[in-house]
Amino acid sequence: MTAETPVTSPLGRPERLLLAAVALVLSVALVLLRGGLHPGAPLERLARQSLDLPVALSDGRPTLVEFYADWCEACRAMAPAMEALEKEKRGQLDVVLLNVDNPRWEPELERYAVNGIPQLELFNQRGDDIGRSLGARTAAELSSLSSALIAETPLPVLPGVGGLSDLRSVGGSLASGGPSPASPAPVGPRSHG
């Protein structure tokens, strides 16, 4: 019989302790970078703390409503900027998140013609829907939009952002058979035009 020789580690005790300390520091850093021990991502936290839409629209502050989904990459990428905006403008602007996968919001999805996400609906202090933003927004763009809402100034000129109008006032009267020949046909949110 042959005796097996024990396998020894090439690392001594000090090296193993140093390796364990580095692993612990990296683990703590990873937890902190992912939002601490809170299980919710920024989207979830914002959605949970959002006011109900009717309350937000009637409290005398402008409101920014985001239609989102948990699986939406653009929505998740925009979430930290939305969370920062909500913290920065708290008390001046209401930020409301509505998940398009929640059947509770089906009437709002239809009312605001949501057919792509993220979609922002922009409301003035009186609760009037004054604009829409389609697609992801940077922190600077969100700041511009919110500043315009708070100051009651025109919305910034950004791709995918527009004011809302009464279709009867665009291109002629609907009652008269549609747009006049001299004006272009109105572009709706589902036309992709």
Q: How many domains does the chain have?
A: 1
**Rounded-to-integer distance, Cα 172 and Cα 13, Å:** 84
- Catalytic annotation, residues: 72, 75
Is residue 18 in a domain?
no
**Rounded-to-integer distance, Cα 119 and Cα 116, Å:** 7
pLDDT one-digit tens code per residue, 142-182: 999 999 999 999 999 998 888 766 544 444 433 434 443 34
Given pLDDT bands bounded at 50, 70 and 90, which one contains residue 56?
very high
Q: What is the CATH number of the domain that holds 80?
A: 3.40.30.10
Give the pLDDT score at 105.
94
Give the pLDDT score at 26.
81
Is residue 160 in a domain?
yes
Query: Is this model's pTM higher than 0.85 or not?
Result: no
**Rounded-to-integer distance, Cα 61 and Cα 77, Å:** 26
Higher pLDDT, 1 or 150: 150
